[in-house]
């Protein structure tokens, strides 16, 4: 089998997505997600100008060699743009292989290791009362694990609190919105949120929280300690992790489980935190970390160090990415949990898919390949529009991490 062509498709059904469609000489095509939120066209150009010309004529079954060709074969390695482009190609090749062999992708990755993929949903509210109500709605929908984010009194907007509750979407059209931040107010408020949630919902439901890279190691240590009585499933992205060694400080002080990795792109980004057992969950996304091929290697490294997986699954990862994650999740032994944020109806219509939710679990479906398609005709009704994630400043105007 030979790859004959590959098209980069850009559309905005509910939000912007970049999708790669790889064609072969026997009529089978595969889909990959290449979306990098707020930087979409950089990946699109990297693919169409630099990678696709080198892809034509290759055998799609040689996904390992093709991966190495684009990674090792490039002098300029790593980074989100490069790795999202390689990830899109890799995901599309696994889709093609599954379709050609008439089997779901998970069967090519070792087969099912479990009956379903436990997911966590996103509850958020403007204050503790509203967040309690939202957590209640997710519990009623059957979720066993729920991430809770609350607005903080005295800060006009904060990460994770949506305008549209069910469809959380931080990117906005126009120039980047500016948020304000106060670590002091945040650290005082969050333990109260989780105390209230445990009082209301008891001990059984898994509760998660995302600090979204906003704390220093010692602040994260304080938060982790103060949350210990409420036994979180995980505390996510407590600290920005360019300095992986920073997590040594957090780890020395708290038994709250730590999750990290949605902005990581390669195994090198996670090497210290995994091999020193500084985290409990590695959250890299199939697309942003070079596809299924590379994520399998990350999971194998993590397995040795008691680190479980918890793939990123925000709305800016298209249904193609989510399906790739589900096939990965159901097959690896050291799976932990999968993030699941609902896509809008428009997104779901442009990307018809076989995965389905029941009782707190997602199931990838048993059709050939990834089980996701792309309706090009419908997608053409939703043209790309530039959108940005917010930027964040401290109350005195200092530029800070969003």
Positions annotated as catalytic residues are 159, 212
| Contact yes or no for 323/315 (Cβ under 8 A) | no
CA proximity to 260, closest of 85, 276, 315, 274 = 274
Residues 6+ apart with CB under 8 A from 45: none
Of 209-217, 222-230, 349-357, 364-372: span binding Mg ion (CB under 5 A): 209-217
Q: Which does 90 bind (CB under 5 to 8 A by kind): Mg ion, ligand GCO, none?
A: none
> Interface with ligand GCO includes 54 (CB under 6 A)?
no
CA proximity to 23, closest of 43, 65, 63, 52 = 52
- Least gap, CB of 238 to ligand GCO (angstroms): 12
> Interface with ligand GCO includes 40 (CB under 6 A)?
no
> Interface with Mg ion includes 316 (CB under 5 A)?
no
Contact flags string 288-327 toward ligand GCO, x per CB under 6 A: ------------------------x-x-x-----------
| Contact yes or no for 323/95 (Cβ under 8 A) | no
Ranges within 192-211 binding ligand GCO (CB under 6 A):
210
Closer to ligand GCO by CB, 99 or 147: give it.
147
Q: Which does 339 bind (CB under 5 to 8 A by kind): ligand GCO, Mg ion, none?
A: ligand GCO
> Interface with Mg ion includes 210 (CB under 5 A)?
yes
Task: List, in sequence order, every residue forming a beta bridge with 362; answer none if it has no partner.
Answer: 117, 357
Q: Which of 339, 369, 371, 379 binds ligand GCO (CB under 6 A)?
A: 339
> Interface with ligand GCO includes 262 (CB under 6 A)?
yes
Whole-angstrom distance, CA of residue 110 vs CA of residue 282: 20
| Contact yes or no for 47/301 (Cβ under 8 A) | no
Whole-angstrom distance, CA of residue 365 vs CA of residue 143: 19
Within a 13 Å sphere around the CA of 59, how many CA atoms are in the beta-carbon half? Answer: 5
- Which residue's Cβ lies closest to ligand GCO? 314
- Residue identified by tokens 């590959």 is 6
Closer to ligand GCO by CB, 210 or 269: give it.
210
Residues 6+ apart with CB under 8 A from 23: 3, 4, 5, 6, 7, 29
Residues 6+ apart with CB under 8 A from 339: 119, 120, 147, 283, 310, 311, 312, 313, 314
Closer to ligand GCO by CB, 3 or 326: give it.
326
> Interface with Mg ion includes 339 (CB under 5 A)?
no
Closer to ligand GCO by CB, 82 or 124: give it.
124
Write out the residues near ligand GCO by the rule CB under 6 A.
37, 170, 210, 212, 262, 312, 314, 316, 339, 389
Interface residues toward Mg ion, by CB under 5 A? 210
């Amino acid at each position: 089998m030979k790859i004959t062509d590959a098209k980069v498709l850009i559309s905005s059904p509910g939000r912007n997505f970049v999708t790669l469609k790889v064609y072969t000489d026997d009529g089978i095509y595969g889909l990959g997600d290449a979306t990098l939120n707020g930087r979409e066209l950089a990946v699109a150009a990297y693919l169409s100008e630099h990678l696709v010309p080198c892809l034509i004529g290759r055998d799609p079954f040689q996904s390992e060699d093709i991966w190495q060709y684009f990674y090792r074969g490039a002098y300029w390695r790593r980074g989100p743009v490069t790795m999202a482009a390689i990830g899109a190609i890799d995901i599309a090749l696994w889709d093609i292989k599954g379709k050609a062999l008439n089997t779901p992708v998970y069967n090519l990755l070792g087969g099912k290791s479990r009956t379903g993929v436990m997911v966590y949903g996103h509850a958020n509210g403007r204050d503790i009362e509203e967040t309690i109500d939202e957590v209640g709605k997710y519990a009623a929908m059957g979720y066993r694990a729920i991430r809770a984010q609350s607005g903080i009194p005295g800060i006009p907007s904060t990460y994770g609190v949506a305008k549209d509750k069910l469809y959380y979407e931080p990117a906005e059209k126009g120039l980047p919105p500016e948020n304000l931040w106060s670590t002091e107010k945040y650290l005082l408020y969050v333990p109260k949120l989780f105390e209230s949630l445990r009082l209301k919902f008891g001990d059984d439901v898994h509760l998660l929280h995302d600090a979204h890279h906003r704390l220093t190691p010692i602040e994260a240590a304080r938060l982790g300690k103060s949350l210990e009585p409420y036994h979180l499933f995980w505390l996510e992205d407590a600290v920005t992790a360019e300095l992986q060694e920073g997590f040594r400080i957090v780890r020395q002080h708290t038994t709250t489980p730590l999750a990290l990795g949605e902005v990581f792109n390669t195994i090198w980004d996670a090497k210290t935190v995994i091999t020193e057992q500084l985290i409990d969950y590695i959250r890299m996304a199939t697309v942003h970390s070079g596809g299924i091929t590379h994520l399998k290697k990350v999971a194998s490294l993590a397995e040795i160090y008691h680190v479980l997986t918890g793939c990123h699954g925000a709305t800016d990862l298209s249904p193609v990415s989510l399906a790739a994650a589900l096939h990965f999740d159901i097959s690896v032994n050291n799976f932990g949990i999968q993030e699941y944020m609902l896509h809008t109806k428009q997104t779901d219509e442009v990307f018809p898919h076989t995965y389905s939710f029941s009782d707190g679990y997602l199931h990838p479906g048993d059709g050939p390949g990834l089980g996701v398609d792309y309706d090009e005709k419908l997608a053409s009704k939703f043209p790309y529009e530039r959108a940005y994630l917010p930027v964040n400043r401290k109350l005195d105007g200092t530029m800070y991490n969003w």
